[in-house]
C-alpha cells in the first residue's frame, strides 16, 4: 500500500523568490503574480517526487497567508489541494499521514542574512521560544505533526532554513534551492535545477520516511512569545503567564495543547 504524504507550502522559500514584493498578495505587484507561477511549479515538482517515491495520496496545503496563491488550473492532477482556512486544525488529519513535507519554508526570525526571515508573522511576532530554545515555523509545524506521530521528512528553501531543519529534525531531507545573501537577496538556481532538486528530494524523503522519527518535544511543553507591539499581551487569559509588556508564555502536557493555549 502506498504512502500518504501531507505537503505544507509557504512562499518565502520557493525557488525564484528573493524579495517582499513577490510574497505580498495585497499589493498586487507584478512580481507577486510571477511568484505564484514559481510556487505552483515547485508544488508540481514536489508532487512528482512524492509519486516517484511511492506515495499513493498527496495532499498539498497552501499555507502562505490566506492560502490563495496556487494557480489552480496548473496544479498536478494527481494530488489534492487544501486552500483557504481550515478552522482550528493547521494540518487537518495529519496523524493519518506517513510523512510531512515543508516546501518553500524560510528561516526563523532573527536569522542573519536569511531570505525574508520571520516566525509566523513579521508584523506581530518578534521571537518565539520552545522550552527555552528559539525556533521558527519549521519546528512549529514539525511539532504539531510529531504530536500526532507523523515525521517531517523534507524541508526546502534557502541554505539557512536547510541548516535550521538539520539542527532540529534528525533524518530530514533538506533541499536547498537558493543561497541567501540578505533579507531580500539570494543566489538562485535555474528553475530546471531547482525543480530537479525538489523532485529528487521528495522521492528520497518518501522512500525513507519510515526510518524518520517524528519530532517530539519533552513535556511539559513551554512556549514563549515576544510580540512586536506593546499592549498586545493577553494578560488575564487562562493559562497565560505574562513575562513583560511584550512577552508571555504558556505551558501544557503536549505540543498541540500548548499551541492552542498560545492562541487562546
Residue 72, pLDDT score: 96
From the list 15, 35, 53, the residue with the least C-alpha distance to 161 is 15
Query: Does the reported pTM lie above 0.95?
Result: yes
Is residue 31 helix, strand or coil?
Answer: helix
Domain 3-113+137-211 has CATH 3.40.50.10780: yes
55 bridge partner residues: 3
- Give the domain ranges of the chain: 3-113+137-211, 221-263
Residue 104, pLDDT score: 98
Please give the chain's pLDDT, 264 residues, in tens: 799 999 999 999 999 999 999 999 877 789 999 999 999 999 999 999 999 999 999 999 999 999 999 999 999 999 999 999 998 899 999 999 999 999 999 999 999 999 999 999 999 999 999 999 999 999 999 999 999 999 999 999 999 999 999 999 999 999 999 999 999 999 999 999 999 999 999 999 999 999 999 999 999 999 999 999 999 999 999 999 999 999 999 999 999 999 999 998
From the list 96, 91, 120, the residue with the least C-alpha distance to 108 is 120
Residue 87, pLDDT score: 86
Strands (E), the chain: 3-9, 55-62, 80-82, 99-105, 125-130, 133-134, 152-158, 173-182, 185-188, 221-227, 241-242, 247-252
Residue 235, pLDDT score: 93
Residue 45, pLDDT score: 99
Phi, psi values for residue 70, rounded to 5°: -60, 150
Amino acid at each position: 500500500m502506498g504512502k500518504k504524504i501531507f505537503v505544507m507550502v509557504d512562499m518565502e522559500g520557493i525557488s525564484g523568490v528573493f524579495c517582499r514584493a513577490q510574497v505580498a498578495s495585497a499589493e498586487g505587484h507584478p512580481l507577486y503574480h510571477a511568484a505564484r507561477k514559481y510556487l505552483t511549479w515547485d508544488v508540481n515538482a514536489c508532487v512528482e517526487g512524492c509519486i516517484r517515491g511511492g506515495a499513493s495520496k498527496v495532499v498539498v496545503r497552501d499555507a502562505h497567508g490566506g492560502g490563495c496563491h496556487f494557480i489552480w488550473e496548473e496544479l498536478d492532477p494527481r494530488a489534492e489541494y487544501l486552500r483557504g482556512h481550515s478552522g482550528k486544525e493547521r494540518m487537518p488529519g495529519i496523524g493519518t499521514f506517513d510523512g510531512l513535507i515543508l516546501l518553500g519554508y524560510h528561516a526563523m526570525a532573527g536569522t542573519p542574512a536569511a531570505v525574508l526571515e520571520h516566525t509566523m508573522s513579521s508584523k506581530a511576532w518578534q521571537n518565539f521560544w520552545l522550552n527555552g530554545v528559539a525556533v521558527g515555523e519549521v519546528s512549529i509545524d514539525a511539532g504539531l505533526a510529531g504530536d500526532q506521530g507523523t515525521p517531517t521528512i523534507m524541508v526546502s528553501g534557502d541554505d539557512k532554513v536547510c541548516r535550521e531543519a538539520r539542527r532540529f529534525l534528525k533524518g530530514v531531507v533538506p533541499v536547498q534551492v537558493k543561497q541567501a545573501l540578505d533579507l531580500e537577496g539570494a543566489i538562485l538556481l535555474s528553475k530546471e535545477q531547482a525543480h530537479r532538486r525538489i523532485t529528487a528530494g521528495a522521492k528520497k524523503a518518501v522512500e525513507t520516511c519510515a526510518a524518520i522519527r517524528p519530532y517530539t518535544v519533552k513535556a511539559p511543553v513551554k512556549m514563549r512569545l515576544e510580540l512586536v507591539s506593546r499592549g498586545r499581551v493577553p494578560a488575564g487569559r487562562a493559562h497565560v503567564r505574562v513575562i513583560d509588556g511584550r512577552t508571555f508564555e504558556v505551558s501544557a502536557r503536549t505540543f498541540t495543547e500548548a499551541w492552542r493555549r498560545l492562541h487562546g
